[in-house]
Amino acid sequence: MRALVSGGGTGGHVYPLLVVVEALTGEPGDVQVLYVGSPSGMEESIVARTGLAYRSVDCGPIRGTTPWALWQSVRRLWRGYVQAKALLSEWPADVVLTTGGYVSVPTSVAAWRKRIPVLVYLPDREPGWAVWLLSWLVERIAISFEEVRTAFPAACRHKVWVSGYPVRDALLKADRGAGYQTLGLDPALKTLLVLGGSRGARSINQALAASLPRLLAKYQVIHASGQLDWPDVVKSRDGLPEQLKARYRVYPYLHEELFAAMAVADVGLARAGAATTAEFPAAGLPSILVPYPYSGQHQELNADFMAAHGAAVRLDDADLGTQLEPTVVRLLDDDAALERMGKAARSLARPDAAHRLAGELRRLAQGLPPASDISDREGQRSGETAR
């Protein structure tokens, strides 16, 4: 089977694809995968770490403040479509998987024109313009939560299939004891994990820096700052007393260390992106979620969902300066709350999502109907319980 995967612009569009590819290639059968991204997208450097073959096509948003700028946007998309169509002639795929982002439009439209089945997976709680547009063309739409179904046009909802958010098997199998050894941390101390994303969450990094000496006096901290604030974070670390510095593990970004970090953490602090709000439940990790204030409603909806289920505490960006430290201390000092929130988080996890999506790709490539989705199975269980 030859699977073309496409998505980019943010890590939230890239990492779910790579997780599904890992599940797909780990199953029996010959599978070839080609990743298609944008010419200057951040996805190329991420994909390069996996060893997957990578090609790029032109893409961009359809927008412009003048007719000429709008024409340039349309022209770029058309050029990307022509490139994608030629690529699919050169490398005929059996199935296409995309997560949205601008690059998904030319690749998916080209696949549609060549009658290659397309599965679009929406990581977020609302479709962007690319996924909304593609919902009319693709064979199947996978979503993480049942309530997202109504965000699609009524005429397309029969294609929607609830898969859950894909997370790597390595996260599900991560061992706490081994994690302490990997990261060189003390099992006797509570641990705060702070994730700033690939570029960085500046307001989180700054609020943490202001309270860092006091937090390190009681706890240990794993901090992935992102690239933008990395020089400032190193400066803060180097200014700490040696005893506190030993309790502070800093990284510009967590790659393979992420699984060990989640295994040893007692509380996670991060933005409320789709990946975070899937991985924290998979790890059973209580969290403090800070929605990015300029993400539309995506992150606010994610944080509110987690908080409503008792798995997280929501903090707004404007309140970080005054509320971050007391919120961290309150949670880390309350074992009963941590246990309760951890159970609530695990109840939201969909640990088989990656393998379900991989299986659905195989079914699409073979022309088979969709498997029953999570909402179907949960409905069946509810009915059995009622009986």
Specify whether the CB–CB gap between 195 and 268 falls below 8 A. yes
Q: Domain check: are 358 and 340 in the same one? A: no
Domain-located, residue 261: yes
Closest to 83 (Cα-Cα) out of 21, 6, 28, 29: 6
Domain harbouring 78, CATH code:
3.40.50.2000
Q: Are residues 368 and 333 in the same domain?
A: no
Q: Do both 91 and 51 map to the same domain?
A: yes
Tell me: do 300 and 343 sit in the same domain: yes
Same domain, 173 and 38: no
**Residue 86, domain extent:** 2-167+351-373
Q: Are residues 79 and 42 in the same domain?
A: yes
In a domain, 133, yes or no: yes
Distance CA 102, CA 14 (A): 12
Judge if 273 and 339 occupy the same domain.
yes
Same domain for 361 and 278: no
In this structure, are 148 and 61 located in the same domain?
yes
Which residues contact residue 333 at a Cβ distance below 8 angstroms, ignoring those fewer than 6 apart? none
Name the domain count of the chain.
2
Helix (H) or strand (E) holding 263: helix 257-264
Residue 378 counted as domain residue: no
Q: Are residues 219 and 125 part of one domain?
A: no
Q: How far apart are CA 304 and CA 316, in angstroms?
A: 11
- pLDDT string in tens for the chain (387-residue length): 999 999 987 777 899 999 999 999 988 889 999 999 998 888 998 899 899 999 999 987 766 567 877 788 888 889 999 999 999 999 999 999 999 888 999 999 999 999 999 999 998 888 888 899 999 999 999 999 888 999 999 999 999 999 999 999 999 999 999 999 999 999 999 999 999 865 558 899 999 999 999 999 999 999 999 888 899 999 999 999 999 999 999 999 888 899 999 999 999 999 998 889 999 999 999 999 999 988 768 899 999 999 999 999 999 999 999 999 999 999 999 999 999 999 999 999 999 999 999 999 999 999 988 876 655 555 444 444 343
What is the H or E stretch that residue 46 is in? Answer: helix 43-48
Nearby residues of 273 by Cβ (< 8 Å), 6 or more positions away: 12, 197, 292, 295, 298, 299, 302
**In 3D, which of 262, 316, 274 has the Cα closest to residue 293?**
316
Half-sphere exposure of residue 333: CA atoms within 13 angstroms, side-chain side? 8
- Are 279 and 254 within 8 A, CB to CB? no
Q: Does residue 383 belong to any structural domain of this protein?
A: no
